[in-house]
Amino acid sequence: MDGAVRQLGLDLGGTKIKLAVLEDGRRVSRDETETRSEDGPEAVLERLVELGRGAGEADSVGVAVPGLVDEDGNALLFPNLRGVWTGRQILAPLEEGLGQPVRLVNDGHAFALAEAALGAGMGGSTVMCIVCGTGIGGGLALDGALHLGPEGRAGEFGHHTVAENGPPCACGNHGCLELYAGSRAIADAAAAPSFDEALERARAGDERAVEALRRAGELIGLAVANVVIFLCPDRVVVGGGVAEAGDLLFAPLRASLEARARVAPLERIAVVPATLGPGAGAIGAALHGAA
Ligand SMILES: [Zn+2]
């Protein structure tokens, strides 16, 4: 269609780089490639540019990154990518390679933007979005606008303390939620080689795998309860690879929330699975790029 506004979004993940092109708020194209972060930051940035250029011309570009960046486009902490990213300039090579301005966004915020605007949060007024993958992130959307906080630092849901004297986390704290409920942590607790394998075993009734997912759900529910009693959102959207476990995760999550958030009006707070699937980050990046 002539004259449609084309928004390009790229999502740099630990295993894959995903692409979405939106036209008038609808995804018209998608693509992906392997991240292969073992090749180092330069190769990964080149892969992002190459995938983006393959989508043709766009009116705006947003790129979701798996961690924190400063206001000048330098990476601060990308814990789930190999190689030395900290302090590396990432905005300039992307803008140079793509030949136009690029807006960076944290991947948790990209997920939240997409789900709040076009996914399971549509129509909600205060929407908490949580994305559970290798790491756990998220964002809070208030009447459709994302609460970013200074330097976009809001929404680090995975670094809730859930065990006061728990093991050390890459963030410097101890006992963070993602050490128990991230996909790698669940795989380890299930003694499985990967999260997908753990999920398959749990579906087949393997007790250790079921327990690993139950415990993850319980702790996510605990962290959700802590936020819910303060904010009283009308919707809590939970997505990411870990949420693919469905009721194996959501049943203990809801039970834990109900057991703890006694003072919240839970009958008016819907806890719902995300609906956009693994492409949400790229869609949110595209929305952010045009914002
Ligand atoms: Zn942490």
Digit-coded pLDDT (tens) for 247-269: 999 999 999 999 999 999 999 99
Cα–ligand 1 centroid distance for 213 (angstroms): 20
Cα–ligand 1 centroid distance for 168 (angstroms): 8
Return the H-helix or E-strand segment holding 184. Answer: helix 183-189
Examine the pLDDT at 22 and tell me if it is beyond 90: yes
Residue 25 pLDDT level (bands cut at 50, 70, 90): confident
Cα–ligand 1 centroid distance for 60 (angstroms): 33
Examine the pLDDT at 1 and tell me if it is beyond 60: no
Q: For all residues of the chain together, what is the average pLDDT?
A: 95
Quote the Cα angle for 45-50-53, to 5°.
125
Q: How far is CA 244 from CA 153, 276, 285, in A?
A: 27, 12, 22
pLDDT of residue 116: 96
Cα–ligand 1 centroid distance for 171 (angstroms): 4
Tell me the average pLDDT across 96-113.
96
Question: Which amino acid would we find at residue 286?
Answer: A
Per-residue tokens: 280 = 């949400």
How much of the chain exceeds pLDDT 70, in percent? 99
Residue 2 pLDDT level (bands cut at 50, 70, 90): low
pLDDT tens track for 199-243: 999 999 999 999 999 999 999 999 999 999 999 999 999 999 999
Cα–ligand 1 centroid distance for 169 (angstroms): 5
Cα–ligand 1 centroid distance for 163 (angstroms): 11
Tell me the average pLDDT across 152-179.
94
Cα–ligand 1 centroid distance for 111 (angstroms): 19
Polymer length in residues for the chain: 291
Burial of 99 (0-12, 13-18, 19+ CB in 10 A): exposed
Cα–ligand 1 centroid distance for 220 (angstroms): 14
Cα–ligand 1 centroid distance for 184 (angstroms): 14
Residue 91 pLDDT level (bands cut at 50, 70, 90): very high
Examine the pLDDT at 103 and tell me if it is beyond 70: yes
Cα–ligand 1 centroid distance for 87 (angstroms): 20
| Cα separation, 105 vs 127, whole angstroms | 18
Cα–ligand 1 centroid distance for 287 (angstroms): 28
Cα–ligand 1 centroid distance for 174 (angstroms): 7
Cα–ligand 1 centroid distance for 28 (angstroms): 37
